[in-house]
Chain A
Amino acid sequence: MQGILRFLEYSGFMNVTPGHVLMILIGILFIYLAVRHEYEPLLLVPIGFGILIGNTPFLENAGLQLGIYEQGSVMNYLYQGVLKGIFPPLIFLGIGAMTDFSTLLSNPKLILLGAAAQLGIFLTYLGAIALGFTNPESASIGIIGGADGPTAIFISSRLAPHLIGSIAIAAYSYMALVPVIQPPIMRLLTTPEERKIKMKPPRSVSKTEKVVFPIAGLLLTGFIAPGALPLLGMLFFGNLLKESMVTKRLADTARNAMIDIVTIILGLTVGASTQATTFLTPQSVLIFVLGALSFMISTAGGVLFAKLMNMFLKGDNKINPLIGAAGVSAVPDSARVAQIEGLKADPTNHLLMHAMAPNVAGVIGSAVAAGIMISYLM
């Protein structure tokens, strides 16, 4: 009888709390969104399943070494890659190896949209300060507006490790919800005429420009914001592997096998880090609200800056302001949203290639923003 009681005491049924049930439902929702609606499935499936793993109740502090926060557990070992900021640079290496910067090189002025769309990061930073978060916590929360999961994880691993779970979940959730969050803001801030602006086709870019870009890009941004070196260094290194055309095997590994392995472990452990007992706090709710605000402000910042640029541009140099929203990075979803909204306004207007320029510039912009925050606050 005592054995049965002991078994029951250790079982999930005896240790379940409403928080666990809530988080399990959220995990199932993530998996549902990924499988049914294909919202960022490569991220939401591992994160959703990680939430299920992290929130399967068990007797905590019984020396079972099961939970992600228990020293010695398998999940804890895997989570070190997140906590120590190892996984985000590896993800950036893969992103660099799969990103074609030629749209950005063919029309370099679109780089500025990637800078403008970082507005949400800094305004949300101030908002978080006003809500009582500390300086490093506020910087980590603000970066959600960069819509870049690895950057958000990287900066919070350095500045606010106790908030990684909430920040990562918020960042990835909003990245998955790009097609839902961005279009109303884009339509609100643009007129039907502006949405119909046709941009001139991008020029062809030489191989030399493509090879020079990662080298010059690293040196220029690295000298300005050395705090972003782990991210930007890997991003540009990955891009050089791709564009040099002499390291095809390395580029293939970086953009396929390696990024897939890291994404699986990162997604699963970030999901598991949402253990109800540590995750469900008022702070997490506030982070979700601030993250949404940050994302919206960044979208608006990109669109409005495109309109501002149009005041100084003439003829076929004008920019369709819809592509400004793609400056929030979230590659390539926000570029795809710009394309869809552009087609709604004019079925012959294809904006995807143009939107990819601010999109990839946004990746650089958010990494630079993270680097500045780290340099200031560490």
Chain B
Amino acid sequence: MFPAVSFNLSAIQADHLMLAATGYGVVFMSLIILYLVFSVLPHLLEARFGKKANDTEPASARAQVARQSGEVNASIAMALHMYFTELHDQETAILTIKKAAKNYSPWNSKIYNVINFKGTVR
């Protein structure tokens, strides 16, 4: 069913190598450009918006915001989450015990059928 497979390196021509090398190079180049742009962008934004903030906020407040680490943010988020999820606006005040017994139904009652249909057969 399966013909023999041959791995023929000579089938790889210069233009194939060129495509592979150029392709990989271009992928790298486009992502390097993204890397460069987004490495510089935060500094640009800081310079642009930081300047505005300088006029409105006291220096101590700015320094505090800048120094907040991810861990501090995570702790604040966790504390808020716990606070909000543990709030109980309303309690139902009804204690329920789950009923386990099945409701009686003549449709699935064996004894009902035995008693009632016995006479009919006669």
Contacts and interface: CB of A to CB of B under 8 A. Distances in A.
B73 A108 contact: no
Interface residues of A, number: 49
B99 to A, nearest CB: 33
Interface in B41-66: 41-42, 45, 49
26 contacts: A108-B35, A108-B38, A111-B35, A112-B28, A119-B24, A121-B23, A121-B24, A122-B20, A126-B17, A130-B9, A130-B11, A131-B7, A201-B69, A201-B71, A203-B70, A209-B38, A209-B41, A212-B41, A220-B30, A220-B33, A221-B30, A225-B30, A364-B31, A364-B34, A368-B30, A372-B27
Interface string A209-224: 1001100110011001
Given A115-B31, A201-B71, A376-B23, A208 B2 contact: no
A113 B38 CA distance: 15
B26 A224 contact: yes
Given A109-B39, A115-B32, A376 B19 contact: yes
A220 B27 CA distance: 12
Contacts of B3: 282
Contacts of B8: 130-132
B113 interface: no
Contacts, number: 122
B79 to A, nearest CB: 17
A165 to B, nearest CB: 18
Interface residues of B, dominant DSSP: helix
Given A123-B20, A376-B19, A224 B5 contact: no
Contact of B24 (A111, A118, A132, A217): A118
A112 B45 contact: no
B6 interface: yes
A201 B70 contact: yes
A202 interface: yes
A361 B31 contact: yes
A79 B69 CA distance: 50
B24 A122 contact: yes
B16 A131 contact: no
Nearest to A362: B31
Interface string A96-122: 000000001100110110111011011
A138 B13 CA distance: 13
Contacts of B19: 125, 373, 376-377
A2 interface: no
Task: Kindly name the residue among A108, A216, A225 whose own CB sees the greatest number of chain B CB atoms within 10 A.
Answer: A108
